[in-house]
Amino acid sequence: MSEKTASTKVLSRHSRALVEWAVGLTFEDLPGDVVDRTKDFFVDWLGCAIAGREHISVKSMVEYAKAMGPVSGNCELVGFPDFRTSPAFAALVNAASSHVVEQDDLHNSSMMHPATIVFPTALAVAREVGASGKDFITACVVGYEFTCRTGEFLGKAHYEKFHTTATTGIIGAAAIAAYLLRLHVDQFESAIGTAGTQASGLWQFLTDATHAKQVHTAHACAGGVFSAYVAKSGLLGSVEILEGTRGMAATLGSEDPQPKYLDDALGQKWSVLGSSFKWHASCRHTHPSVDALIGLMKDEKLNHRDIESITSHTYKAAINVLSLSAAGQTVHQSKFSMGFVLAVAAKYGMARISDFTEDALLDSELRDLQSRVSMVLDPTIDAVFPEKWLGRLIVTTRDGRTLTRGVDVVKGDPEWPLTRGEIQSKAISLGKYGHVQDLDVFKRTIGRVWDLESQSPLDIFSFA
């Protein structure tokens, strides 16, 4: 049964330009800082994946992989050294585990978390095809461009309805797999089309602290792998899934999609350089307020008991997302409660992963201060979001003062990235959280990442 497609005269489209650029990209095209930052985020991601491996959502997906997948394979699950599988299942599980502890990177202007999509997919497919370290890095850079640019294109109205990490994630995962499978331009575009029509991810989980966040990244990565493999076998995906009249922007809540973001300054503006490390262990929307509070308390020599109230001036997307978890009933929700997070930061001077625990949920001092935190929409701050994630606090003190502090840049932002020492230290701390048995082996693995481009084929996973 042969079947032609409709005449698809391909016009000059922004998404097509992005695909054509990706197909032609080689490691030699990448500036040194792009290569370095990609490796930085890979180390950061490894820590996140290890830290999340004991979560029930991850364990349940490992069981699923064992029930549905092959009994052996080329692809590792981070933190599960006794099991290898096929790329789809490896991408599925690693995507879930690296999106558990709220410590993975965040790309500001696209409002999505790239690493939890990029590295699971690239690692799985690279291992399957025996790709070199250089090709792996290049595929990751392609993944950053597709996820982040799609997020910028879809915009903040889309983000208000959909978990953008999921919806742009499947696009990025398809692009990574398509790159590593060496699809030609039309096949690559088919992969993007097949991915886009499977884009999904609702915010409902924030209201009841269930595990869709991990399902979203898992589906995005596994679905992206699927989309590229079937494209290679001839399945045709829509050529205009992003910009088309019945495509993603038109259907999934975008209000003013900007196709120009898809191919703006390709090869000059690198999305991986626009992503932020997370230093605090809470939702990224809380970070400007956290940094403002810590700075203000330090300068004013305040103790958390000195604080009468805190008003966080922020942007609409933060209020939308954080309001869904405002009560902070669970550990996960507490990282999404502005009040609880600021209470933690006030009490401990930081907001580490070890500060969000079942015990902390029962800390009446934290709960009391939480109740005296409010958020207000600040039109000035909202106007520049998501290009800038600004924050401004007004703190009243028990002794009657009113203090104000704003921040433009938070620690971990592209303008203030973590050092390699900080990155390694954060990863090791996450490794401890995830009960890595032999930290020295983990450290040696990290050491090998810094020299990733010398490996051919890629083979770093001796640590377990």
162-201 positions binding a second copy, by CB under 8 A: 162, 190, 193-194, 196-201
- Residues in the interface with a second copy (CB under 8 A) total 83
Cβ-count burial 338-348 (b if 16+ within 10 Å, e if not): bbbbbbbbbbe
Of residues 17, 129, 235, 394, which one binds a second copy by CB under 8 A? 235
CB closer to a second copy, 330 vs 455: 330
Exposed/middle/buried for 112, CB within 10 Å: 0-12, 13-18, 19+?
Answer: buried
Report if residue 238 touches a second copy, rule: CB under 8 A: yes
| Binding of residue 421 to a second copy (CB under 8 A) | no
Tell me which of 211, 284, 335, 392 binds a second copy, using CB under 8 A.
211
What stretch of H or E contains 229? helix 212-232
Any contact of residue 362 with a second copy (CB under 8 A)?
no
Closest CB 341 distance from a second copy, rounded Å? 17
Phi-psi region of 111 (alpha: psi -120 to 50; beta: other; left: phi over 0): left
Contact 77, 90 (CB under 8 A): yes
Which of 29, 56, 368, 402 lies at the binding interface for a second copy (CB under 8 A)? 56
Smallest separation, CB 154 to a second copy (Å): 13
233 makes contact with a second copy (CB under 8 A) = yes
Q: What distance in Å separates the CA atoms of residue 234 and residue 231, rounded to the nearest whole number?
A: 5
Identify the burial level of 383 via C-beta atoms within 10 angstroms of its C-beta, where 0-12 means exposed, 13-18 middle and 19 or more buried: exposed
Q: How far from chain centre, in Å, is Cα 303?
A: 33
Q: Is 71 in the site for a second copy (CB under 8 A)?
A: yes
Comparing CB distances to a second copy, the nearer of 234 and 400 is 234
Helices 212-232 and 164-180: crossing angle in degrees, nearest 10, is 30
Contacting a second copy (CB under 8 A), which of 24, 31, 33, 70?
70
Query: How far from each other are the two terminal CA atoms of the chain, in whole angstroms?
Result: 48
| Rg, C-alpha atoms of the chain | 22
Sorted by sequence, the CB contacts under 8 Å of residue 100 that are 6+ apart come out as 48, 51, 52, 55, 57, 58, 213, 214
Q: Name which of residues 76 to 115 contact a second copy (CB under 8 A).
A: 86-89, 100
Query: Which ranges of 301-354 does DSSP label H, i.e. alpha helix?
Result: 316-323, 331-334, 338-348
**Alpha carbon distance 355, 352 (integer Å):** 5
Indicate the helix (H) or strand (E) that contains 454.
Answer: none
C-beta closer to a second copy: residue 63 or 299: 63
Closer residue to a second copy (CB): 110 or 167: 167
Q: Is 15 in the site for a second copy (CB under 8 A)?
A: no
- Of the pair 19, 248, the CB lying nearest a second copy is at 248
Nearest to 263 by CA among 23, 31, 22, 35: 22
Closest distance to a second copy from the beta carbon of 199 (Å): 6
Cβ closest to a second copy, residue 391 vs residue 434: 434
From the centroid of its chain, how far is CA 20? 25
419 binds a second copy (CB under 8 A): no
Q: Is 206 in the site for a second copy (CB under 8 A)?
A: yes
202 forms part of the interface with a second copy (CB under 8 A): yes
Is 234 a binding residue for a second copy by CB under 8 A? The answer is yes
In the list 20, 36, 54, 306, the residue contacting a second copy (rule: CB under 8 A) is 54
Q: Is 153 in the site for a second copy (CB under 8 A)?
A: no
Nearest CB to a second copy, comparing residues 63 and 387: 63
How many CA atoms does the CB half-sphere of 388 hold within 13 Å? 14
Residue 23 identity: V
Q: Is 246 in the site for a second copy (CB under 8 A)?
A: yes
Query: Which residue among 111, 117, 141, 248 contacts a second copy (CB under 8 A)?
Result: 248
Whose tokens are 């902070």? That residue is 328
Q: Does 117 bind a second copy (CB under 8 A)?
A: no
18 belongs to the binding site for a second copy (CB under 8 A): no
| 437 is a site residue for a second copy (CB under 8 A) | no
Nearer residue to a second copy within complex by CB, 25 or 154: 154
**CB 322, min distance to a second copy, A:** 13
Per-position x/- string for 311-350, each x denoting binding to a second copy as judged by CB under 8 A, each - no binding:
-------------x--x-xxxxx-----------------
| C-alpha separations of 226 from 132, 143, 185, 237 in Å | 22, 15, 17, 12
Site for a second copy in 276-315 (CB under 8 A): none
